[in-house]
Structure 1
């Protein structure tokens, strides 16, 4: 196999304390999972073992939680949106989540939920609103893929594509929600807006708790490593918080990976005081789901406490991961992954083929005994770009 060098900026986390959060405990995760299990289409998504690739890279095991199967929506985001919207409805009706049922919503005045999205979160919110008999208005940043727009509209939501980047689209959605009396359902937080983002992050724990149970069913006590992709850090924070609570943050190596054009978590990790750092500009990365420049403060606090390493990587790393997952070694299963879902596997392969591979592997404590847990957060949600990358070699090494 060839040796090549892709841009990989690594920062060891000097702020690690191992302190977990009660918001993301195993007990809360059981409550969230119980809600998701009420949904007719619920079933755990697969945990795929890539044993032949692991052997090729000198790693003990590589396991990929494949969220492309989640509720037939091709991405994990619906876990957060559905749970948050249900909690909002419960709050409006003055009932507990235990008292909630889908039938209880019949005949109720619908609520309009607003959000901003690259596509997957908005589709999840639109789907959840439709399932619960509510309304949704979704704002998207410039350059939004037509397929992602169409998927949101098909679910009955109003979809507005702006000429703004993601963070400014969030601000526009928030202003219009305030002006129109809508309820904002966003996976980032700011002063005075933390409850709903916390519910969204808690919703993502179902993915992590399923994965951990599936590991145990395979006879694996726990992962030694996890690589979590970050946009605002909501998914990474929720999943890292759960893993830290279940196992203890000092028992595994948590790694956060981002596109170098939208690496707000990496830049925050480089700040001398550990303050959250905003990244500005067009955030022009193929990893549309990670094209976020402003960290979720709750997500950042968890990642700052529980992650061991932050990495900022070029787009070619994600494209490489898409091709590897879609064209596996004989004996490994095919995984269809979109740009944001493939960064973890692309990063592992890029490290193993790097001219300085031995040093990087050692710094991350990756070896033949490692059990690496990855999350394929989306399938081919932009099928045109998927074919451009996988078929036609766009962003080639």
Structure 2
């Protein structure tokens, strides 16, 4: 159920692309968007006591811009940077509500997505009065398709997996002269994925600011989920610069069906995973690491984990059904994986051995990022109400 590897390649080296200064610039952009407010950092003291740690702090991204997920942070910042470059303006001069008036005609942005990233791009394109075309891999839930179309974007479901859908979106963008806004990178396509990962730093900057104001204090352990590693790398890069890489342990978790970061961690170099990549964690079902953020994960992660779907399902049930006195957090499959990981690390014989290696114990302040809410409501109910994917 749990595969764990301590990172043999840790150096603690920080990356200037994901510094605290860069995070301030991305947050300043997001702060000028109508409806911006920091999402809650929820403390779960009773669960912390039960699991044997000092504190558990959960960043609840279901409250982000009314979109039920964090991904809009990356998509909106990337679109802002693209438009700023197109108009030869500074990003600080980009106003989502007025930028369209500076263009002769709307631009067309396209992307491939498992759901949340495409929602963010569609929302940002709508806010900026631009157009969006979103591609989704085979088996994508209709709820995600409907949500993206409801934001005014065209949404096309393919008959291939996520990584092949990315290639299709790229090909279509080149053929039509559209702007690809993809949250993974490859040789020759690195600038926009970098901006997307930088956009995610707003979430981490808020979390550190909030933790500093709480009696629980700054994290000693941060559990991050990874698909291609765009969010995990961006957040970890910021935290390593802001807190000092040696002052906390970062544990990176993925679904077993698409554990490219786990395998890359073992190998010390990027390793791709192929096949259907089928997982309830659709947002993490990616087989090819992002080369922009992989070096950060290699240099600053303490451990890597590969876990079965039922681990994420357990995290969903724990967060949605809290101990008396703790606050409920509605977390989707990709959002709850880290809570499931923490629970198994602290409550099972196998897990406790790994927890000791990670330094998890009674003095630990653990920070988690619940990156989405119930973005697939029907499956959320099957898991949380009906017990699907039980341990």
- Regarding TM over 0.5, the answer is yes
Greater Cα shift, 221-230 or 166-175: 221-230
Shift in Å, 1:107:
5.5
Judge conservation of contact 2:53–2:363 (CA < 8 Å) in 1: yes
- Match for residue 9 of structure 2? 15
The CA distance in 1 between the partners of 2:48 and 2:151, in whole Å, is 39
1:31 to 4, 22, 25: 25
Structure-2 change in CA distance of 1:107 and 1:98 (3 Å): closer
The CA distance in 1 between the partners of 2:281 and 2:217, in whole Å, is 32
- Match for residue 190 of structure 1? 186
1:261 matched to 2:263: no
- Match for residue 233 of structure 1? 229
Could you report, residue by residue, the CA deviation over 1:63-108 in whole angstroms, capped at 9, with x for unpaired residues? 0000000000000000000000000000000111122223232252
- Match for residue 99 of structure 2? 104
- Match for residue 164 of structure 1? 160
Other structure's SS at 2:335 match = coil
- Match for residue 200 of structure 1? 196
1:336 to 326, 330, 336: 330
- Match for residue 4 of structure 1? none
The CA distance in 1 between the partners of 2:355 and 2:91, in whole Å, is 45
Judge conservation of contact 2:60–2:329 (CA < 8 Å) in 1: yes
Could you report, residue by residue, the CA deviation over 1:317-359 in whole angstroms, capped at 9, with x for unpaired residues? 0000000001000000010000000001111111222123432
Other structure's SS at 2:257 match = coil
Q: 1:1-397 maps to which residues of 2 (within 5 A)?
A: 7-102=1-96, 103-106=98-101, 108=103, 109-271=105-267, 274-397=268-391
| Count of equivalent residues | 389
The CA distance in 2 between the partners of 1:310 and 1:184, in whole Å, is 30
Could you report, residue by residue, the CA deviation over 1:139-198 in whole angstroms, capped at 9, with x for unpaired residues? 000111111000000111010000110000000000000000001000100001110000
Shift in Å, 1:111:
0.7
The CA distance in 2 between the partners of 1:260 and 1:315, in whole Å, is 8
Other structure's SS at 1:261 match = helix
Judge conservation of contact 2:4–2:354 (CA < 8 Å) in 1: no
Structure 2: 5+ residue stretches without partners? none
Judge conservation of contact 2:332–2:373 (CA < 8 Å) in 1: yes
Judge conservation of contact 2:140–2:157 (CA < 8 Å) in 1: yes
Judge conservation of contact 2:55–2:216 (CA < 8 Å) in 1: no
Judge conservation of contact 2:217–2:365 (CA < 8 Å) in 1: no
Q: CA RMSD in A?
A: 0.9
Structure 1: 5+ residue stretches without partners? 1-6
The CA distance in 2 between the partners of 1:153 and 1:299, in whole Å, is 30
